[in-house]
Chains A and B, each alone.
Chain A
Amino acid sequence: MNRADLQTMAQREQEKQARFQCRLLCCASTPCLSSGGAAVQQALQDAIKESEASAEVAVVSTGCMGPCSRGPVVTVQVQGEDDVYYENVTPETARQIVADHALAGQPVQEKLLPSDLPFFAKQTKVVLSNSGLIDPERLEDYVARGGYLALAYALREMTPEEVCVEISQSGLRGRGGAGYPTGLKWDLVRKAPSDKKYVVANGDEGDPGAYMDRTLMESDPHRVLEGMAIAGYAVGAEQGFIYVRGEYPVAAKRLERAIRAAERRGLLGSRVLDSSFSFRIDIRIGAGAFVCGEETALMASIMGRRGQPVPRPPYPAQSGLWGHPTLINNVETFGNIVPIIEHGAQWYAGIGTEKSKGTKIFALAGKVENTGLIEVPMGITLREIVFDIGGGIPDGREFKAAQTGGPSGGCIPPQFLDTKVDYESLKALGSIMGSGGLIVMDDQSCMPDVAKFFMEFCMDESCGKCVPCRVGTVQMYRILQRITDGSATLQDLENLEDLCTMVRETSLCGLGQSAPNPVLSTLKYFRNEYEDHIERRTCEAGVCEMTEVPVMALVEELPRRIRAAA
C-alpha cells in the first residue's frame, strides 16, 4: 500500500459512513462493558433489525467517550446535527433511542447528557481525538479520520533527524511521569551507534485508579502503532515492542488485531508504505508486577528475565534490550506523535505552558460528581479540573485533597487548588504529574489512612532487590498501621520521617525512591492529623477505629478491658 491507496481507502470509508442517516456509537471500553455495554449494543442492533432500518442506521462499537461513571454511554450522530450523548443507557433505553431518536428524530429526554456540560467543554482532545468516534477494531475507521497519513508524510518528506527535531521543537515531554524531553531521548537513540535498535511502548500502567494508557490502547490502538512506527523511523529501529499490562486483556486483543490489520495492508512489517523502511511490532504481556513499569525492569521482563530494575547508567538509550540502544516511551507519549507530525511542532507548542506543552490525559476518580477520563491542556488549574470538569464534590461536602501520581505522588491540599497543572508546579508542591491518576478526596478521607493505603501498595509491589525499599516499606507500613490503630507514639512518627528520607535517597529505582512521597506530602500538609492520631488518639475523618493503645499504656488499658469484658 502507498500513500494514494491510503487516501482511496479513507475516501471509500468516508463515503460508506455518509450513507447512513444516523450512526449510534456505543462505547465498548472496559468501564462501559462492565456496566452492561455489551447488552446495550445488542439491544441497539436488535431494535434496528426489528424496524428494518439497517440501511439507514448503523451501530458502531467504539472506544471511550470520557464520562465513565455515567456508562454505558451511547452517542447519536445524525447527519447535519450535533452529536448527542446518552448516559446510563439500559437495553430498554437503547430500544427507545432507536425508535424515537434514530428513526423519528425525537431525542429521549431523561437519559440525555447536556451537550454544554463543562465536562466536555473544558477539554482539549488531541491524543483522544479519535477515542469514542471510531471502531478500534477497524483499520478503515482510523484511516478515514486521517490515520497513517502522518507516517506516510514522515517517511516521504522528512529525514529521521528532521523528525527528532520536530518532536524536540514541539516541547513534548514523557507522559509516564518523569517528564523527560521526548525529542532529546529520540535524538540520543538516533545517534547511538548500533546496527540494531529497538522501540518499546510502556503500557504497564499500574497506579491505582489510573487507566489512561488502557483507554488509549483500547480506543485507538492504531494511533499508538503509528506513533511507534514514526519513532522507529526516527531512531533507526526495525523492531518495536508494546508491553501491555497483564490485567488489560481487551487492550492486548485490540492491539493484536490492529497490528495484524496494519501488517496486512503494508502499514507495518517490511517495506512500510512501499518505502525502504521496515518496522515490526510485537506484543509482550506483563505478569502482574507493578515494578515492570520501571523501564529497566520492563526491559528485563521483555527479555524473559525476572522483572527487576538494574542500576542506570547505562541508560536504555545507550544499552537497552539485549544490549542495543532502546527507545522507551509511555503509550500516551506515542499517542502524541501523530498530532505533532500532522499539525506541526508550532501548533503543538501553542498548547500548554512554557515548560509543559500539549495536553495531558487524567483519570479523574474519587469524590467528584463526574469521574472518568479527561484530556486537558497543560496549565489548567486543579480547581477547573475538580470543580468544572469534575462537577465538584458530591453531597455538598468539602474538598480536602487531590492525589496525583498514584503511589509515587502526593496529596495537594485546598490552598493550592489554583496551581497550574504542569510538571514543575506539581513537583514544587511535593507531588508529581505521574502517569495521570487524579483522585479527589473529601473531608471523609483520613490522610494517614490514605498514606497507609499507598504504602501497602508499594510494600506489596517492591521487587525485593534493594534493602531500603524491600524492608523499609514494610517498616513504614507497620508504623502507619500503628498510627491508624491508635498504638503509635511520637517516637514512631520520628522513625517514620527518618525512614522516609532514607528510603527516598538510597533506593535503587523509582519505585523505592518515590514510595515515601504519599507519606511525606501528607505529613507536609496534614501533620496535625498525624499528631491527632498519636497524641489524642482521634481520627477526625472517622475512618480509623483507634482500638489499640501504645504498648507502654497497656498497663492502664488492660484492667479497663478486663472490667469491660466482665
Chain B
Amino acid sequence: MAVITVTINDELVSGRTGQSLLELVRERGIDLPTLCHLDGLEERGGCRLCMVEVGATNRLAAACVTPAQEGMVIYTHSERLVRYRRMILELLFAERNHVCAVCVMNGRCELQREAYTIGMDHVRYDYLTPDLPMDASHERFVIDHNRCILCTRCVRVCDSVEGAHTWDVMGRGVNCRVITDLHQPWGSSRSCTSCGKCVQVCPTGALHAKGSSVAEMVKHHDFLQWILDGREKKQWATRNGDPVEGGR
C-alpha cells in the first residue's frame, strides 16, 4: 500500500492510501469526537462531530467518510470547529429528553462525555421535549426513544454483523425513530435473535438491558442471613429448599 503524507494541525503525518481522515487523526493520538462512528461498523457520516477543516478552501468535511489523500492539509480543532461541535451537541440535547440524572448510562454515556469534554454547560436552544414511548416488550432489553440520538449503530450492527436486520429507521426529520420489524413491538419480533449487539453498541442509554434502570433496582437483604447461616450452621446452600449439611 502506498504511503501518503497529510498535514494535520501543522504537523506532517504519514498514512496509507485507503485510510480515512479519522483513522489518521486518531492514530496520531488526537481526540476527535464522534458519535455515529464505531470501529467495526460501516461509516454513516451523520453526527457531523468529526468535521475537520480541509485545505485552504475552508471547506469542512466529515473525517470518518473522507479518504485521506496525499498532500491534504487539515485542521481538527479550530475555533470554528469547536464552536460548531458544541452547537451540534446542544442541538442533540435539545432534540429529545436527555435527563442524565435518571439515565441508566449516567457516567458512561458517550453523548454526556462529549458534552463534558467540550465544556457544554447549557443549551441555547428550545428543548423540544417530544412525547416519546419506551418499548420494554423484549424479555431482556429495553429501547427508550427519549435517549436515542439516531446514530443507527444498532441498525448497522444488526444488519451487517448479526445479519438479522431487525432494526431500521422510520419517519423523517425529527420524527425519525429506530424501529424493530416494521414497527412491531420488539418482544414480538421474529427476526430478533436476542443477541444483544445493539445494546452493546448504543452510545447512550437508549438501548439497555433490563434491570439496569433506577426503578428496577432491588436490594437483596436476605443475603446477610444466608452468610450468617453458612458461617454458623454450615448451611451454605439449599437443595429443593432443604438445608445441606457441611456445605455443598
The distance in angstroms between the C-alpha atoms of A474 and B174, with both chains bound, is 8
Contact with B along A29-58 (1 / 0, CB 8 A): 000000000000000000000000000000
Q: Please, which residue of chain B has its CB at the minimum distance from the CB of A468?
A: B48
B88 at the interface (CB under 8 A from A): yes
Of B44, B83, B87, B171, most A-chain CB atoms within 10 Å: B87
Contact of A506 with B84 in the complex, beta carbons under 8 Å: yes
Contact of B46 with A467 in the complex, beta carbons under 8 Å: yes
**Residues of chain A lying within 8 A (CB to CB) of residue B169:** 306, 464
Contact of B48 with A471 in the complex, beta carbons under 8 Å: no
The distance in angstroms between the C-alpha atoms of A291 and B128, with both chains bound, is 23
Contact of B125 with A465 in the complex, beta carbons under 8 Å: no
Contact of A471 with B174 in the complex, beta carbons under 8 Å: yes
Contacting residues of chain B (5-53) with chain A, CB-CB under 8 angstroms: 43-48, 51
B172 at the interface (CB under 8 A from A): yes
Q: Given the interface contacts A474-B174, A506-B88, A508-B46, does A311 sit within 8 Å of B94 by beta carbon?
A: no
Contact of B88 with A470 in the complex, beta carbons under 8 Å: no
**Residues of chain B lying within 8 A (CB to CB) of residue A462:** 172-174
A90 nearest CB across to chain B (Å): 43
Identify which of B45, B124, B174 contacts A508 (C-beta below 8 A).
Answer: B45
Contact of A465 with B46 in the complex, beta carbons under 8 Å: yes
B103 at the interface (CB under 8 A from A): no
How extensive is the interface on chain A, given as a class?
20 to 34
Contacting residues of chain B (167-214) with chain A, CB-CB under 8 angstroms: 168-169, 171-176
Q: Please, which residue of chain A has its CB at the minimum distance from the CB of B171?
A: A464
How extensive is the interface on chain B, given as a class?
20 to 34
Contacting residues of chain B (120-179) with chain A, CB-CB under 8 angstroms: 124-126, 128, 149-150, 168-169, 171-176
Contacting residues of chain B (76-96) with chain A, CB-CB under 8 angstroms: 83-84, 87-88, 91-92, 94-95
Contact of B172 with A506 in the complex, beta carbons under 8 Å: no
The distance in angstroms between the C-alpha atoms of A56 and B16, with both chains bound, is 77
Q: Given the interface contacts A464-B150, A495-B125, does A471 sit within 8 Å of B176 by beta carbon?
A: no
B74 at the interface (CB under 8 A from A): no
Contact of A311 with B45 in the complex, beta carbons under 8 Å: yes
A83 at the interface (CB under 8 A from B): no
Q: Given the interface contacts A464-B150, A467-B91, A475-B126, does A502 sit within 8 Å of B84 by beta carbon?
A: yes
Contact with A along B44-80 (1 / 0, CB 8 A): 1111100100000000101001110000000000000
Contact of B124 with A495 in the complex, beta carbons under 8 Å: yes
Contact of B84 with A475 in the complex, beta carbons under 8 Å: no
Q: Given the interface contacts A475-B126, A506-B60, does A460 sit within 8 Å of B88 by beta carbon?
A: no
The distance in angstroms between the C-alpha atoms of A355 and B97, with both chains bound, is 51
**Residues of chain A lying within 8 A (CB to CB) of residue B65:** 311
Q: Given the interface contacts A306-B169, A471-B94, A505-B60, does A464 sit within 8 Å of B175 by beta carbon?
A: yes
The distance in angstroms between the C-alpha atoms of A284 and B136, with both chains bound, is 39
Contact of A502 with B87 in the complex, beta carbons under 8 Å: yes
Contact of B126 with A463 in the complex, beta carbons under 8 Å: no
Contact of A498 with B174 in the complex, beta carbons under 8 Å: no
The distance in angstroms between the C-alpha atoms of A242 and B169, with both chains bound, is 26
Contact of A466 with B45 in the complex, beta carbons under 8 Å: yes
Of A311, A467, A468, A473, most B-chain CB atoms within 10 Å: A467
Of A310, A465, A471, A495, most B-chain CB atoms within 10 Å: A471
The distance in angstroms between the C-alpha atoms of A231 and B206, with both chains bound, is 48
Contacting residues of chain A (442-462) with chain B, CB-CB under 8 angstroms: 459-462
Contact of A475 with B91 in the complex, beta carbons under 8 Å: yes
Identify which of A461, A474, A499 contacts B172 (C-beta below 8 A).
Answer: A461
**Residues of chain B lying within 8 A (CB to CB) of residue A507:** 48
Contact of B91 with A468 in the complex, beta carbons under 8 Å: yes
Q: Please, which residue of chain B has its CB at the minimum distance from the CB of A466?
A: B46
Interface contacts (Cβ under 8 Å), in number, total 91
**Residues of chain B lying within 8 A (CB to CB) of residue A311:** 43, 45, 62, 65-66
Contact with B along A300-341 (1 / 0, CB 8 A): 000000100011010000000000000000000000000000
Q: Given the interface contacts A478-B126, A505-B84, does A467 sit within 8 Å of B174 by beta carbon?
A: no
Of A459, A470, A495, most B-chain CB atoms within 10 Å: A470
Identify which of A461, A475, A478 contacts B173 (C-beta below 8 A).
Answer: A461
**Residues of chain A lying within 8 A (CB to CB) of residue B128:** 471, 474
Q: Please, which residue of chain B has its CB at the minimum distance from the CB of A505?
A: B60
The distance in angstroms between the C-alpha atoms of A508 and B36, with both chains bound, is 13
Q: Given the interface contacts A475-B126, A498-B87, does A508 sit within 8 Å of B173 by beta carbon?
A: no
The distance in angstroms between the C-alpha atoms of A471 and B46, with both chains bound, is 12
The distance in angstroms between the C-alpha atoms of A310 and B48, with both chains bound, is 13
Q: Given the interface contacts A462-B172, A464-B150, A465-B46, does A472 sit within 8 Å of B124 by beta carbon?
A: no
Q: Please, which residue of chain B has its CB at the minimum distance from the CB of A491?
A: B124
The distance in angstroms between the C-alpha atoms of A289 and B171, with both chains bound, is 11
Contact of A466 with B47 in the complex, beta carbons under 8 Å: yes
Contacting residues of chain A (474-516) with chain B, CB-CB under 8 angstroms: 474-475, 478, 495, 498-499, 502, 505-508
Identify which of A289, A467, A499 contacts B47 (C-beta below 8 A).
Answer: A467
Identify which of B46, B94, B150, B176 contacts A475 (C-beta below 8 A).
Answer: B94
**Residues of chain A lying within 8 A (CB to CB) of residue B173:** 459-464, 470, 473-474
A460 nearest CB across to chain B (Å): 7
Contact of A468 with B150 in the complex, beta carbons under 8 Å: no
Which 3 pairs, one residue from A and one from B, show the smallest C-beta to C-beta distance? A464-B176, A471-B91, A311-B65
25 examples of A-B residue contacts, CB within 8 angstroms: A306-B169, A461-B173, A464-B171, A467-B91, A467-B92, A468-B48, A468-B88, A470-B95, A470-B150, A470-B174, A471-B91, A471-B92, A471-B128, A471-B174, A472-B91, A473-B173, A474-B128, A475-B91, A495-B124, A502-B88, A506-B51, A506-B88, A508-B45, A508-B46, A508-B48
A residues with a Cβ closer than 8 A to B are 289, 291, 306, 310-311, 313, 459-468, 470-475, 478, 495, 498-499, 502, 505-508
For the A-B complex with A467-B149, A475-B94 known, give 10 more contacts whose Cβ atoms are closer than 8 Å. Answer: A464-B169, A467-B46, A468-B88, A470-B176, A474-B95, A478-B125, A506-B48, A506-B51, A506-B88, A508-B48
